[in-house]
């Protein structure tokens, strides 16, 4: 390490004396991790990654994370800590090589999962990178993406019903971690730990809240929405983890005649 540091200092000094900057290939690996879960990869459409020079705004590289969700045993274990390695070759990543001629403060912006636009979030971070100071070692540059993927499956958007014919409507939703990992009772992502429910508004005003419960199959939750008076109803289904604040939502509308 001391020898490499001496070489780097000498290289910078030589560049300053000669008045020219010597560019050096610098590998960067960016991984996007679902909060409290695994990596966001191909199965979820990947996450978009943009690397910028934070000082100038220049886009240095961009692309998508690709690959699997990673090794569950490496990621989800009680003894994890800041020195615990989480990524292996199966963990989704975006890889690039930048031709750097000087230290740069680089901003990484990520957005995804791209296959679930209603649940997609953006996150960013900055880090100094020096020529030849690769960020592809270890876990690489890991950026956490918060949220749940919530898909309201029933009722379909803009469905019309008659208030005189029904007293309630069934509401069902699929809820997953951002990596696409399933939620089940007593599972690694425990359905008993999460709060899933709906907020109901009529003609733009909140009229109530209803709880939803696990519906018997992986990641499926259901509940009932009372049908009373005519109007346009908006249903916002949320998933919430009270242990860390992780939250995700999806919406649908119903026309009651």
In-domain check, residue 81: yes
In-domain check, residue 12: yes
Question: How far is it, in rounded angstroms, from Cα 117 to Cα 48?
Answer: 12
> Looking at the structure, do residues 162 and 139 belong to the same domain, yes or no?
no
Q: Which of 145, 165, 188 is the last residue of a domain?
A: 145
Tokens of 233: 């109803």
pLDDT of residue 1: 41
Return per-residue pLDDT of the chain as tens, 257 residues.
443 443 344 444 444 444 555 788 989 999 999 999 999 999 999 999 999 998 899 999 999 999 999 999 889 877 766 667 889 999 999 999 999 999 999 999 999 999 999 999 999 999 999 999 999 999 999 999 999 999 999 999 999 988 888 889 999 999 999 999 999 999 999 999 999 999 999 999 999 999 999 999 999 999 999 988 899 999 999 999 999 999 999 999 999 99
138 φ, ψ (degrees, to nearest 5): 60, -135
> Looking at the structure, do residues 234 and 162 belong to the same domain, yes or no?
yes
CATH number of the domain that 208 lies in?
Answer: 2.60.40.10
In-domain check, residue 233: yes
> Looking at the structure, do residues 187 and 112 belong to the same domain, yes or no?
no
> Looking at the structure, do residues 14 and 101 belong to the same domain, yes or no?
yes
Spatial CA neighbour of 164 closest among 229, 223, 225, 226: 229
| pLDDT tens figures, 1-37 | 443 443 344 444 444 444 555 788 989 999 999 999 9
> Looking at the structure, do residues 85 and 102 belong to the same domain, yes or no?
yes
> Looking at the structure, do residues 138 and 43 belong to the same domain, yes or no?
yes
Number of domains in the chain: 2
Residue 158's domain spans which residues?
A: 148-256
> Looking at the structure, do residues 197 and 221 belong to the same domain, yes or no?
yes
CATH number of the domain that 34 lies in?
Answer: 2.60.40
pLDDT of residue 13: 46
Question: How far is it, in rounded angstroms, from Cα 184 to Cα 105?
Answer: 42
Tokens of 67: 């690959």
């Amino acid at each position: 390490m001391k020898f490499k540091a001496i070489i780097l200092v000498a290289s910078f000094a030589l560049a300053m004396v000669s008045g020219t900057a010597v560019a050096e290939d610098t590998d960067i690996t960016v991984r996007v991790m679902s909060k409290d879960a695994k990596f966001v990869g191909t199965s979820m459409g990947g996450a978009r990654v943009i690397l910028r020079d934070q000082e100038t705004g220049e886009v240095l590289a961009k692309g998508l994370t690709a690959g699997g969700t990673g090794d569950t045993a490496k990621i989800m274990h009680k003894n994890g800590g800041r020195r615990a390695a989480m990524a292996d070759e199966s963990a989704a990543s975006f890889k690039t090589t930048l031709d750097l001629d000087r230290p740069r403060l680089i901003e990484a912006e990520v957005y995804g999962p791209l296959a679930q636009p209603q649940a997609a979030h953006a996150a960013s971070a900055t880090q100094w990178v020096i020529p030849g100071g690769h960020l592809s070692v270890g876990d690489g540059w890991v950026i956490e993406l918060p949220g749940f993927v919530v898909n309201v499956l029933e009722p379909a958007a803009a469905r019309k019903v008659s208030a005189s014919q029904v007293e309630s409507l069934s509401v069902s939703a699929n809820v997953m971690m951002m990596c696409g990992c399933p939620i089940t009772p007593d599972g690694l992502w425990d359905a008993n730990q999460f709060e899933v429910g709906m907020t109901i508004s009529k003609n733009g005003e909140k009229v109530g809240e209803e709880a939803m419960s696990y519906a018997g199959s992986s990641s499926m939750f259901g509940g009932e929405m009372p049908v009373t008076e005519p109007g346009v109803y908006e249903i916002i289904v949320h998933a919430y983890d009270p242990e860390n604040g992780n939250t995700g939502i999806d919406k649908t509308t119903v026309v009651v005649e």
